[in-house]
Amino acid sequence: MPTPGRRFLGRLPLPEYRYLADALRAETLGGVLLLVAAVLALVWANTPLSDSYETVRDFHVGPGSLGLHLSVQHWAADGLLAVFFFVAGA
């Protein structure tokens, strides 16, 4: 039984933590991840699995009382647009 003060997944040892942090900060890794995600989305949307893609895309989520009961498509588009302007403005 774990002790009360110990976390389930504690911190990584320092060398591994630094390696992981440096890898995530690298711009090339971010670009590769974005490219892989885009290719996977294109394949997912243009295969017989496209019905599940459309189901996820059209799924509505958000607080309806605030008028934010939007589809995943709208959340993604608005979120990516906000990130773009945060990056472009920096």
Model pLDDT, residue 60: 93
Tokens of 60: 């509505």
Higher pLDDT: 88 or 70? It is: 70
- pLDDT tens digits for range 16-34: 778 777 877 777 777 888 8
Model pLDDT, residue 59: 93
Model pLDDT, residue 48: 92
Give residue limits of the domains in the chain. 6-49, 58-90
- pLDDT tens digits for range 33-48: 889 999 998 998 899 9
Q: What percent of the chain has pLDDT over 70?
A: 86
DSSP string, 18-66: HHHHHHHH-HHHHHHHHHHHHHHHHHHHTSTTHHHHHHHHT-EES-GGG
